[in-house]
Amino acid sequence: MPLTDLMPTHSDILTACGLSEATTSAGSLNVYTPVDGSLIASLATHSVADAEAQIAAAKEAFKSWRLVPAPRRGELVRLLGEELRREKENLGRLVTLECGKIYQEGLGEVQEMIDICDFAVGLSRQLYGLTIASERPGHAMRETWHPMGTCGVITAFNFPVAPWCWNAALALVCGDPVIWKPSEKTPLTALAVQVICERVMADFGDDAPAGLIQTLVGERELGEALTASKDVALISATGSVPMGQAVARDMSTRLGRTILELGGNNAMIVAPSADLEMALRAIVFSAVGTAGQRCTTLRRLIVHEDIYDALIPRLVKAYQGLPIGDPLVDGSLVGPLIDTEAMTAMARALEQAKTEGGTVHGGGQALGDDFPNAAYVHPSIVEMPTQSAIMHHETFAPILYVVKYKDLDEAIALQNDVPQGLSSCIFSTDVRETETFLSAAGSDCGIANVNIGPSGAEIGGAFGGEKETGGGRESGSDAWKAYMRRQTNTINYSRELPLAQGIKFDI
């Protein structure tokens, strides 16, 4: 049901997403909205035994779902995309209420879900294998792709719904049941999506088995229950580097498959030939969008010394005029941080930057009188003398460190000299520079852009990063292959039994 009220209450937003009072007051997992820090729900949580029961149900569902023809599986995802179109405003508003990103970005996140559903529907008719030339006469070889088994999806608070969909839409067309463990900070959006999925499965009919799409509400031990179970074939985990390291450790003991989408520390190089108007807009959007809480947020700006003075004062001025405010209200461009711990972490990072020689512009709490229990901050620019220790670290807040460079090799070396490898970009109109940046000797990140900021990826390309970002790829291109098992077939249609490599083994 669409909300017509211009300024719906928090409980209107929950109700519009099918979350009744009985659901939102059923237990002890407290959910606070970052909009004003108030309590919006106390949810019942699942136990580890519940997680095991879901895993068993998914295992059963897999037996029939893997046999449903892939284009028919695609029909389920098409229906999901249709339902998401209908629910876009309601769900987008709930994303804003629960994680604090501005409403436009909440809508954008739901649009990403719709986009990946469209992609997956097309993919459901394109799960192509190969035919391969055999060295033996009368033999054929081919490579085929089969459903893999249950896919466990662990997600972070800052993108509470889209990453689930990047995984689920592909997993479902690939023939895999999905169990979702959302962030304990944003379980409401997951429950709202589960409500949508229940409706979609009912419309789809009997060949969507019980246990096909499930959600686990609770703390990390539910994620650990997924990683521990040999009946979960694949874990796709989005979150911090320490979480990814723990998941990788647990999965390695059973040699399970992972897709890891972890922290970033993304940079932009601004070269002397850059269009500074474009660069300025790209910097501000990618550094302060989602209040600096995107994995692809711009955190390091590497500026050529010749244009430094033309760019940085303008940037500082642009920051001073940014509308900080309630993310549900039109016109706010910077919403709150997720909680006061995040605000403390930001203050600590700025202190460290100062001790490392940084000059800090902005920073500090904003709107403290209006929202004493929330964590609104002034985005910060920090001019650094060199790329020192603090710049190697991802602080999940709107802090943009700026350093100068003299030549492109130095800039690329700075860009690559951090532990993370998610997203990167260069602003330049010199093709020699841009192609060098994209070459084997250029950016070492999973994403490298030219004249576009590091955030705001489209679903058509594979998304993910290298080094401590984890190496996983989701979404477009051939990311679907991670959700299937590959099988090589050799078929002998002759009356002889020649061995490969010409080996003689006569008996």
Query: How many residues in total does the chain contain?
Result: 507
Q: Which x/- pattern, by CB under 6 A, does the window 455-494 give for ligand NAD?
A: --------------x-------------------------
From residue 341 to residue 380, what is the string marking binding to ligand NAD with x (rule CB under 6 A)?
Answer: ----------------------------------------
Nearer to ligand NAD by Cβ, of 372 and 419: the residue is 419
**Is residue 246 involved in binding ligand NAD (CB under 6 A)?**
yes
Sheet holding 423-427, edge to edge: 359-362, 380-383, 399-405, 298-304, 266-270, 423-427, 447-450
Q: What is the per-residue burial (b if ≥16 Cβ within 10 Å, else e) of 241-255?
A: bebbebbbebbeeee
Residue with smaller CB distance to ligand NAD, 224 or 430: 224
Shorter beta-carbon distance to ligand NAD: residue 217 or 350: 217
Q: Which of residues 168-227 bind ligand NAD (CB under 6 A)?
A: 181, 183-184, 220, 223-224, 227
- Tally of CB atoms within 10 A around 297: 29
* Interface size with ligand NAD, residues (CB under 6 A): 28
Q: Is 458 a catalytic residue?
A: no
Rounded to the nearest whole angstrom, what is the least distance from the CB of residue 65 to ligand NAD in the complex?
A: 24
- Pair of tokens at residue 445: 């990140």
**Measured on CA atoms in the order 68, 461, 106, 35, is the torsion positive or negative?**
positive
* Spatial distance between the Cα atoms of 164 and 465, rounded to a whole number of angstroms: 18
Is 229 an interacting residue with respect to ligand NAD (CB under 6 A)?
Answer: no
Convert residues 273-312 into a mask of x (bound to ligand NAD by CB under 6 A) and - (unbound).
----------------------x-----------------
Q: For residues 251 and 226, give the distance between their C-alpha atoms in angstroms, rounded to a whole number.
A: 10
Q: What is the x/- site pattern for ligand NAD, positions 128-167, by CB under 6 A?
A: --------------------------xxxxxx--------
Q: Would you call 236 helix, strand, or coil by DSSP?
A: strand
Of the residues 87, 261, 383, 468, which is catalytic? 261
CB-wise, 259 or 408, nearer to ligand NAD?
259
Beta 266-270 vs 298-304: how paired, if at all? parallel
Q: How far apart are CA 30 and CA 374, in angstroms?
A: 15
Distance CA 293, CA 356 (A): 23
Chain Cα centroid distance, residue 328:
22
For the chain, report the end-to-end CA distance as a whole number of angstroms. 75
CB nearer to ligand NAD: pick between 326 and 394: 394
Q: Which residues are catalytic?
A: 261
| Residues at the interface with ligand NAD (CB under 6 A) | 154-159, 181, 183-184, 220, 223-224, 227, 238-240, 243, 246-247, 261-264, 295, 394, 396, 422, 469
